[in-house]
Amino acid sequence: MSTSEKDNRLVRELSDEKYRYGFTTDVHTDIIDRGLDEDTVRLISSRKGEPGWLLDFRLKAYRHWLEMPMPQWAHLDIPPIDYQNISYYADPTVKKKEGPKSTDEIDPQVMKTFDKLGIPLEERLALSGGVAVDAVMDSVSVKTTFKQTLAEKGIIFCSIGEAVKNHPDLVREYLGSVVSYRDNFFAALNSAVFSDGSFVYIPKGVRCPMELSTYFRINAQGTGQFERTLIVADDDSYVSYLEGCTAPMRDENQLHAAIVEIVVLDRAQVKYSTVQNWYPGDENGRGGVYNFVTKRGLLRGVDSRLSWTQVETGSAITWKYPSCVLQGDGSQGEFYSVALTNNWQQADTGTKMIHIGKNTRSTVISKGISAGHSQNSYRGLISVGRNATGARNYSQCDSLLLGSDCGAHTFPYMDVRNETAVVEHEATTSKISEDQLFYCNQRGIPMEQAIGLIVNGYAKDVLNRLPMEFAVEAQRLLSVSLENTVG
């Protein structure tokens, strides 16, 4: 048997392990009727008890969305999506025929769900070191932990719905200031129908004492999830934010179209980490989440910093480009990504680094791993504006191919209009080294583990950027995803 045949066999064997988050929770969920029109937008807004300005924002976005075509430029084969056959709001916290719900009373089933996912919603059970969690199921935040502890430092950490009620001025000032509803098709859609994501505000000079995280769970059938997250780091502040996500195994494709906006002011620093593990579909490409996400940070302040780290193993289709607008002089943006696709998954992901301020710096490290019949693309833009004197960028994009039926693609764009800029891009694509595999085998490491080892080593530069708990989870995910793919 040739090595490649062996690889392919391994890939197949590995794909047999089941997605361990694929269960569903039986909880009473209030789901609005499928379909999307202005009334749907009004209904969502009234369910959330929103002020008039926010409804106006949603309606403007909706009307704009109607005029936009679905983007076709990605290296993705996206089946037609029937936007009228999706329910845009599902609330699992509404009790049957009961009066107003109390936030302290969470359905035990919901509680159990997050327990099962390894996300403790009771503060006493929190992981060592302390991670505050905002747990979102379908369209609604079910609980946010450590709110009090954080509030003592002036930090606001809550669902965006709650923030609209309690901190309307902050939300109004920043919502849509980084990603306009006109930005793209999915951003317009999200702006019209968005539901809970998290809101974070770190006041001037405050270093957030614990990691903040949001865990997104899709549970209800026939629904889409449209979370919206807004993080504002005021002058001289610091926060590390984590995001995780899973969904049940279903034959249907579920749509997830999120927006994350981050505003970083003078000398503030934000680290944003994602471990994306939406249901990827089965080994025949049936089901799975469509993950169409707009994430962007505006580095408004001088010497501000934003670092994106993502480990993407889930979703049937991923369309996602966490970006940095480097506006403040001396601001720095980073993007570290591992994207693994297996079976029939498709990913088109990367970043945009928009250099506007002077002496801005950006670093891009992307590691793609393709297996099975999957297609994995890196797409990036480095743009250096007229006034971005002294801008520096370094990008490195590597692709690893496991098996002969997958694809790995690289589409970097560079646009330089300042003569003092230095922009460098390097990319390599290769298959997993037979020498390395042989070396491992010779030392008694079986093929499957050897591939896992090598892939984890390959992704190490990125995995090392994650907070510890996440790094461990990410490593495990890579191995499991690869177990069914190759590694």
Q: How far is the CB of 242 from other proteins (least distance, A)?
A: 32
**Signed CA dihedral, 126, 165, 177, 226: sign only:** positive
Q: How far is the CB of 446 from other proteins (least distance, A)?
A: 21
Considering beta carbons, is residue 166 or 433 the nearer one to other proteins? 433
Considering beta carbons, is residue 185 or 411 the nearer one to other proteins? 411
The half-sphere exposure of 139 on its side-chain side, counting CA atoms within 13 A, is 24
Q: How far is the CB of 429 from other proteins (least distance, A)?
A: 4
Considering beta carbons, is residue 150 or 371 the nearer one to other proteins? 371
> Phi and psi at residue 263, in whole multiples of 5°?
-115, 125
Helix (H) / strand (E) element for 188: namely: helix 185-193
The residue range among 223-231, 248-256, 356-364, 399-407 that interacts with other proteins, by the rule CB under 8 A, is 399-407
401 binds other proteins, rule: CB under 8 A: yes
**Signed CA dihedral, 102, 195, 291, 381: sign only:** negative
351 binds other proteins, rule: CB under 8 A: no
**Residue 285: CB atoms within 10 Å:** 16
Q: Which amino acid is at 453?
A: L
Of 22, 35, 203, 407, the residue at the interface with other proteins (CB under 8 A) is: 407
425 binds other proteins, rule: CB under 8 A: yes
Considering beta carbons, is residue 106 or 401 the nearer one to other proteins? 401
252 binds other proteins, rule: CB under 8 A: no
Task: Please give the DSSP secondary-structure letter assigned to residue 123.
Answer: G
Q: What is the DSSP string of 190-246?
A: HHHH-B--EEEEE-TTPBPSSEEEEEEE--STTB-B-BEEEEEE-TT-EEEEEEEEE
188: CB partners within 8 A, 6+ apart? 61, 62, 64, 65, 68, 181, 182
Considering beta carbons, is residue 413 or 439 the nearer one to other proteins? 413
Binding-residue total with other proteins (CB under 8 A): 38
Considering beta carbons, is residue 218 or 369 the nearer one to other proteins? 369
Considering beta carbons, is residue 74 or 90 the nearer one to other proteins? 74
Number of H helices, E strands in the chain: 12, 23
Cα–Cα distance measured from residue 68 to residue 70, given in angstroms and rounded to the nearest whole number: 7
Considering beta carbons, is residue 56 or 415 the nearer one to other proteins? 415
Which of 226, 313, 271, 275 has its CA nearest to residue 118?
Answer: 275
The residue range among 54-62, 146-154, 344-352, 411-419 that interacts with other proteins, by the rule CB under 8 A, is 411-419
399 binds other proteins, rule: CB under 8 A: yes
410 binds other proteins, rule: CB under 8 A: yes
Cα–Cα distance measured from residue 131 to residue 209, given in angstroms and rounded to the nearest whole number: 9
User: Are the CB atoms for 487 and 445 separated by under 8 Å?
Assistant: no
Of 10, 131, 268, 402, the residue at the interface with other proteins (CB under 8 A) is: 402
Which of 271, 336, 268, 323 has its CA nearest to residue 300?
Answer: 268
Site string for other proteins, 161-190 (x = CB under 8 A): ------------------------------
Q: How far is the CB of 462 from other proteins (least distance, A)?
A: 20
Considering beta carbons, is residue 84 or 404 the nearer one to other proteins? 404
Looking at the DSSP bridge assignments, the partners of residue 371 are 402
Considering beta carbons, is residue 173 or 405 the nearer one to other proteins? 405
309: CB partners within 8 A, 6+ apart? 271, 272, 273, 274, 336, 337, 462, 465, 466
Site string for other proteins, 426-465 (x = CB under 8 A): xxxxxx----------------------------------
Q: What is the DSSP string of 304-353?
A: -EEEEEEEE---SEEEE--EEEE-STT-EEEEEEEEEE-TT-EEEEEEEE
Considering beta carbons, is residue 109 or 433 the nearer one to other proteins? 433
Q: How far is the CB of 329 from other proteins (least distance, A)?
A: 15
Considering beta carbons, is residue 4 or 180 the nearer one to other proteins? 4
411 binds other proteins, rule: CB under 8 A: yes
404 binds other proteins, rule: CB under 8 A: yes
Which of 263, 260, 351 has its CA nearest to residue 299?
Answer: 263
In the structure encoding, which two tokens stand for residue 156, read together? 């606001």
Of 68, 416, 445, 453, the residue at the interface with other proteins (CB under 8 A) is: 416
Of 4, 85, 109, 284, the residue at the interface with other proteins (CB under 8 A) is: 4
Q: How far is the CB of 352 from other proteins (least distance, A)?
A: 14
User: Are the CB atoms for 170 and 163 separated by under 8 Å?
Assistant: yes
Site string for other proteins, 69-98 (x = CB under 8 A): ----x-x-----------------------
Residues lying near other proteins in the complex (CB under 8 A) are found at 4, 7, 73, 75, 384, 386, 399, 401-431
